[in-house]
Chain A
Amino acid sequence: MTELWAMPAWKIHELYEKGKTSVEEVCRTLYRRIEEVEPSVKAYIKLLPEPDGKGADGRVTGSPLGGIPYALKDNICTAGIETTCGSRILSGFVPPYDATVAAALKKAGAMLLGKTNMDEFAMGSSCETSAFYPTRNPWDLRCVPGGSSGGSAAAVAGGEAVFALGSDTGGSVRQPASFCGVVGMKPTYGRVSRYGLVAFASSLDQIGPLTRDVRDCARVLGVIAGHDPRDSTSAVAEVPDYERGLLEGRKDDLRGMRIGVPKEYFAQGIQAGVKHAVMEAIKTIQELGAFVEECSLPHTEYAMAAYYLIAPAEASSNLARYDGVKYGYRSEHWSDLTGLYTKTRMEGFGPEVKRRIMLGTYALSAGYYDAFYLKAQKVRTLIRYDFAKAFERFDLLVAPTSPTVAFRIGERMDDPLTMYLSDVCTIPINLAGLPAISVPCGFSEGLPVGLQIIGKPFDEPGVLRVAYAYEQATEWHLRIPHLDGVEAAKRIARNDGQVSADE
């Protein structure tokens, strides 16, 4: 039988209902697993000594996530628990409030295990810009887990949490899901409240689940989605029962579904192994009865440039509040106000964050605004139109999640442009505000490949339906990385002097 730590939430929940296991046993197993693999994976920034929300036994069977241990990315605020965003500048910041999603999960009876590692302020694609340490990919400890929600993806892949939440600004849920062989979804912009998510780029950020399978994804999304009066940008649209939609629909039949394959997503530096796995997956979807045809999203090549103006512009303003005056890190080396600001920010932010603050500040500056920020917004509109036009012909689009599999730790740190290309297939979806999921669709060079399914605004049900049908027809989601904890790390250390087990 599968170990408890490798089971999806819905299965654990079934065992709860049948009385075959207890919350205590699940937690014990999880913590034992964490103890075993965490020293080599380093998925967490903060592990709680016991799960927050535990003891709510009465709710275990009633609520779909009752008694399920999970992890939160460390940019989602938790009342009374330090929230760092992977940055030195927020060290010591303990929010006095829960993010709306954290409160919703608490209410649903889920139990928080800890806060996961991430690229600093979610700026990165590898978890390496974290101020603390890089997280390692459970499939190959020499590799990155992706980012920025790398800790969340690695925690789920490594059996250190049943599910996790991440945030996705340009691919930060989907790309690490792809790298770590788990399911990751970015919902439609506005589907999930951003209240309590420490902002990176407000018009792009969206919280999403990282889970073992599509059914769990539907279950978690159902709990966190919905209108929030504290977030003006959250949609008032009703939340369908995503999970029931999956279970009641035909799992083995996609007839009538029209699926487009945007050719631009297969052009930009895609690895042969990735392309192969994705094409095979598309074949499977076709075999399930869907009508599949190539299509074009002509402005795709400009998405990256637009994103790297809009996201840093918003970030430069969002991150202005970290100045050492009110909370978090404060430099000790200053004598006047400007000194307090500059020293605190100089010492508190890492190089990638500084790079983006500078980019964004420049893009918004007088004399450059029209040429950069405004132009980027126009490109964003064109990209939206591309999708809207494609959706006149197709119900959904499929593409790779990332052009490559997980890369080696350190490999791209000196080359930001190559690093940025890791999100080339996910960024346009954020610019258009669409829902998209990444599901495991095979392996290349021993590392997982992700298939991305993109839907119309608020068509999470459609996205989930195809993802579920595909998942049911394949077994990729059942694969578990052969992580034997510290031993694995030692083995890696022997083979690769750059990564040591006691880092």
Chain B
Amino acid sequence: MSENERYEAVIGLEVHVELGTKTKIFCNCPTTFGGEPNTQVCPVCLGLPGVLPVLNEKVLRYALRAALALNCEVARFSRFDRKNYPYPDLPKNYQISQYDLPLARNGYVEVNGRRIRIKRLHLEEDAGKLLHEGDGAQDKWSLVDYNRAGVPLAEIVSEPDIRTPSEARAYLESLKAILQYIGVSDCKMEEGSLRCDTNVSVRRKGETGFGTRTELKNLNSFKAVEKSLEYEIARQISVLEDGEEVVQETRAWDESREITVPLRGKEEAHDYRYFPDPDLVPVVVDQALLDEIRKEIPELPSAKRQRFIREYGIPEYDAGVLTADKRLADFFDECASRYRDPKVVSNWLMGEYLKYANATGLSFAEIPVTPEGLVELLNLQDEGVISGKIAKTVFEEMLKTGERPSEIVKKRGLVQISDENAIYAVVDEVIASNPNVVRDYLGGKEKAFGFLVGQVMKATGGKANPAKVNAALKKRLGKE
């Protein structure tokens, strides 16, 4: 038994999600990403003397939607607290957050059949951003951009239920899918609208207590989450195997070296001196509001997956891929409900469509092809107007331009040649100019037939109806 097999990891995730409201959590400043520094600020989010926060109702509604979608119990009474710590990106030198009375608790997410429990979900305000001028240790100066200060965040803390790095990643992907489905966040890790810290410890298999944990920060992608956990788990095991003890500390993931490095120890942990924020009134959520919010929640990924399998008869794998993103799922849903064979739709989406999206890096929203377009394309193929090969060419064009397939076919003269006379003419020509191949075929080499078909297709620019080409060739070569 190898070392790694004798141990198991215990992992918990702290995820910060920017809620996609148009305005900030406690003022009316816009939340748009990437504005000129300090152009999306006002006295409130700058924390000027004398200003007061007022909770954005939309933020509360978004957070409630997330809480319900994550199967949480929503607190009838919660409140905001101040988390006190000084830092230049924090205008008031305290962050308005929720401490002992969070908005929601005790939820869960289903990840590959396992239930990962969610400990709590609470609201807080984001801080600004520091820009350092200089080489780090000897910064000449630091500049602060407060555009992000006051952007609403939901912090979602899992229980330490996750056991492997890949499960951590799967949990994040599920979380992302759910939050995107309900429209509360775009969850772009690269823009920071989804951020993740992990807590990890290891223990010998069969033990029920927890080992000493470390917290990992600076995780900028799902891959980084997975890789850093793999590294850290191996590191902790080797520390234990060397007879030493894991030190409780915060470590940073060094992306370039692919290792974790110590950031700060436990003794440097802040005393945040939390206390209820006297500037804000408690958040009271009644049943009527909850009922209203519940109606805003659409079908969630897991339910959709089950329905796709049930209604459209596609394989579980396909359903999983298609429901990972709401736009993709909706696309599929629309096509599949109008087309006789949903598996064909699934093949097209999982094949050409995803390939294109991955190759170009475009989001589904940026790809102009419509479900109507794809269904039309499939019908054109079924009706024999175009061949399967041409259909792929047409689809490539649709992915780029969003044009209707019938238009593309017409414009580029791609209509399938089904006219028998025209096909026979080409077939005769191919037979005449390939006497050796014809001899081989007649001599029993079945492969030679494929070559001849290819020649016919080539001569017609791929437009010839393959079935008719087959039939014509066989007839002329006396095999029919």
B386-420 contacts to A (CB < 8 Å): none
Q: Determine whether the beta carbon of A196 is less than 8 Å from that of B50.
A: yes
How extensive is the interface on chain A, given as a class? 35 or more
Binds B, one of A19-27, A42-50, A90-98: A90-98
Interface string of A222-246 (1 = CB under 8 A from B): 0000000111110000000000000
Nearest-neighbor residue (CB-CB) of A84 within chain B: B49
B281 in contact (CB, < 8 A)? yes
Q: Determine whether the beta carbon of B47 is less than 8 Å from that of A321.
A: yes
Q: A317-B82, A366-B271 are in contact. Are A77 and B281 (CB under 8 A)?
A: no
Q: Determine whether the beta carbon of B49 is less than 8 Å from that of A93.
A: yes
A202 in contact (CB, < 8 A)? yes
Interface string of A324-341 (1 = CB under 8 A from B): 011100000000010001
B residues near A198, Cβ cutoff 8 Å: 49-50
B269-308 contacts to A (CB < 8 Å): 271, 273-275, 277-281
B144 in contact (CB, < 8 A)? yes
A residues near B53, Cβ cutoff 8 Å: 232
Q: Determine whether the beta carbon of A364 is less than 8 Å from that of B280.
A: no
B residues near A231, Cβ cutoff 8 Å: 52, 54
B442 in contact (CB, < 8 A)? no
Nearest-neighbor residue (CB-CB) of B271 within chain A: A366
Q: Determine whether the beta carbon of A320 is less than 8 Å from that of B92.
A: yes
B125 → chain A, closest Cβ, in Å? 14
A140 → chain B, closest Cβ, in Å? 34
Q: Determine whether the beta carbon of B50 is less than 8 Å from that of A320.
A: no
Nearest-neighbor residue (CB-CB) of A361 within chain B: B273
B88 in contact (CB, < 8 A)? yes
Q: Determine whether the beta carbon of A320 is less than 8 Å from that of B49.
A: no
B71-95 contacts to A (CB < 8 Å): 82, 84, 86, 88, 91-94
A73 → chain B, closest Cβ, in Å? 12
Q: Determine whether the beta carbon of A232 is less than 8 Å from that of B86.
A: no
Partner pick for B278 among A96, A202, A364, CB 8 A cutoff: A202
Partner pick for B49 among A77, A201, A317, A365, CB 8 A cutoff: A77
A123 in contact (CB, < 8 A)? no
A127 in contact (CB, < 8 A)? no
Nearest-neighbor residue (CB-CB) of A228 within chain B: B52
A83 in contact (CB, < 8 A)? yes
Nearest-neighbor residue (CB-CB) of B277 within chain A: A202
B46 in contact (CB, < 8 A)? yes
Interface string of A346-373 (1 = CB under 8 A from B): 0000000000000001001110010001
A residues near B47, Cβ cutoff 8 Å: 321
Q: A90-B49, A96-B43, A197-B50 are in contact. Are A232 and B93 (CB under 8 A)?
A: no
Q: A230-B54, A232-B55 are in contact. Are A325 and B88 (CB under 8 A)?
A: yes
Query: In the complex, A313 Cα to B276 Cα: how many Å?
Result: 11
Q: Determine whether the beta carbon of A195 is less than 8 Å from that of B49.
A: no
B132 → chain A, closest Cβ, in Å? 12
B residues near A323, Cβ cutoff 8 Å: 86, 88, 93
Q: A321-B91, A323-B93, A364-B275 are in contact. Are A195 and B82 (CB under 8 A)?
A: no
Interface string of B241-284 (1 = CB under 8 A from A): 00000000000000000000000000000010111011111000
A198-235 contacts to B (CB < 8 Å): 198-199, 201-203, 229-233
A108 in contact (CB, < 8 A)? no
Q: Determine whether the beta carbon of A327 is less than 8 Å from that of B48.
A: yes
Q: Determine whether the beta carbon of B281 is less than 8 Å from that of A233.
A: yes
Partner pick for A195 among B51, B91, B280, B281, CB 8 A cutoff: B51
A85 in contact (CB, < 8 A)? yes
B302 → chain A, closest Cβ, in Å? 38
Q: A95-B50, A320-B84 are in contact. Are A326 and B91 (CB under 8 A)?
A: yes
Interface string of B132-151 (1 = CB under 8 A from A): 00000000000010000000
A97, A320, A326, A369: which has the most chain B beta carbons within 10 Å? A320
A residues near B273, Cβ cutoff 8 Å: 316-317, 361, 364-366, 369
Partner pick for A99 among B50, B82, B144, B278, CB 8 A cutoff: B50
Q: Determine whether the beta carbon of A195 is less than 8 Å from that of B52.
A: yes
Query: In the complex, A169 Cα to B214 Cα: how many Å?
Result: 45
Nearest-neighbor residue (CB-CB) of B270 within chain A: A366
B residues near A168, Cβ cutoff 8 Å: none
Q: Determine whether the beta carbon of A369 is less than 8 Å from that of B275.
A: yes
B residues near A456, Cβ cutoff 8 Å: none
Nearest-neighbor residue (CB-CB) of A190 within chain B: B281
Nearest-neighbor residue (CB-CB) of B82 within chain A: A317
Q: Determine whether the beta carbon of B48 is less than 8 Å from that of A95.
A: yes
* Interface residues in B, total, Cβ within 8 A: 29
Interface string of A86-117 (1 = CB under 8 A from B): 00001001011101000000000000000000
Partner pick for A320 among B54, B93, B271, CB 8 A cutoff: B93
A384 in contact (CB, < 8 A)? no
A194 in contact (CB, < 8 A)? yes
Query: In the complex, A322 Cα to B92 Cα: how many Å?
Result: 8
Q: Determine whether the beta carbon of B88 is less than 8 Å from that of A232.
A: no
A382-399 contacts to B (CB < 8 Å): none
Q: A196-B50, A320-B94 are in contact. Are A232 and B279 (CB under 8 A)?
A: yes
B residues near A96, Cβ cutoff 8 Å: 43, 48
Q: Determine whether the beta carbon of B52 is less than 8 Å from that of A232.
A: yes
Query: In the complex, A229 Cα to B279 Cα: how many Å?
Result: 13
Nearest-neighbor residue (CB-CB) of A97 within chain B: B43
Q: Determine whether the beta carbon of A233 is less than 8 Å from that of B279.
A: yes
A98 → chain B, closest Cβ, in Å? 10
Nearest-neighbor residue (CB-CB) of A325 within chain B: B88
Q: Determine whether the beta carbon of A199 is less than 8 Å from that of B50.
A: yes
Partner pick for B271 among A76, A202, A321, A365, CB 8 A cutoff: A365
Q: Determine whether the beta carbon of A203 is less than 8 Å from that of B93.
A: no
Q: Determine whether the beta carbon of B271 is less than 8 Å from that of A232.
A: no
A253-280 contacts to B (CB < 8 Å): none
A460 in contact (CB, < 8 A)? no
Q: Determine whether the beta carbon of B50 is less than 8 Å from that of A195.
A: yes
A38 in contact (CB, < 8 A)? no
Nearest-neighbor residue (CB-CB) of B85 within chain A: A320
A170 → chain B, closest Cβ, in Å? 15
Query: In the complex, A175 Cα to B271 Cα: how many Å?
Result: 37
A residues near B84, Cβ cutoff 8 Å: 316-317, 320, 364
Interface string of B33-67 (1 = CB under 8 A from A): 00000000001001111111111000000000000
A residues near B277, Cβ cutoff 8 Å: 202
Query: In the complex, A93 Cα to B279 Cα: how many Å?
Result: 22
Partner pick for B281 among A85, A232, A325, CB 8 A cutoff: A232
A90, A322, A366, A373: which has the most chain B beta carbons within 10 Å? A366
B97-112 contacts to A (CB < 8 Å): none
Query: In the complex, A341 Cα to B87 Cα: how many Å?
Result: 10
B61 → chain A, closest Cβ, in Å? 17
Nearest-neighbor residue (CB-CB) of A327 within chain B: B48
A33 → chain B, closest Cβ, in Å? 30
Query: In the complex, A97 Cα to B49 Cα: how many Å?
Result: 10
B45 → chain A, closest Cβ, in Å? 12
Partner pick for A314 among B88, B271, B278, B280, CB 8 A cutoff: B278
B139 → chain A, closest Cβ, in Å? 10
Nearest-neighbor residue (CB-CB) of A341 within chain B: B86
Query: In the complex, A326 Cα to B93 Cα: how many Å?
Result: 11
Q: Determine whether the beta carbon of A83 is less than 8 Å from that of B279.
A: no
B residues near A337, Cβ cutoff 8 Å: 88
A residues near B46, Cβ cutoff 8 Å: 326
B49, B86, B271, B273: which has the most chain A beta carbons within 10 Å? B49
8 contacts between A and B (CB under 8 A): A231-B54, A232-B53, A232-B55, A232-B279, A314-B278, A320-B84, A321-B92, A369-B275
Q: Beyond A97-B43, A373-B275, list 4 extra A-B contacts (CB 8 Å).
A: A90-B49, A202-B277, A313-B275, A369-B273
- Ordered nearest first, which 8 A-B pairs have the shortest CB separation? A320-B93, A203-B278, A202-B278, A364-B273, A198-B49, A196-B50, A77-B50, A198-B50
Q: Which residues of A line the B interface, CB within 8 A?
A: 75-77, 83, 85, 90, 93, 95-97, 99, 194-199, 201-203, 229-233, 313-314, 316-317, 320-323, 325-327, 337, 341, 361, 364-366, 369, 373
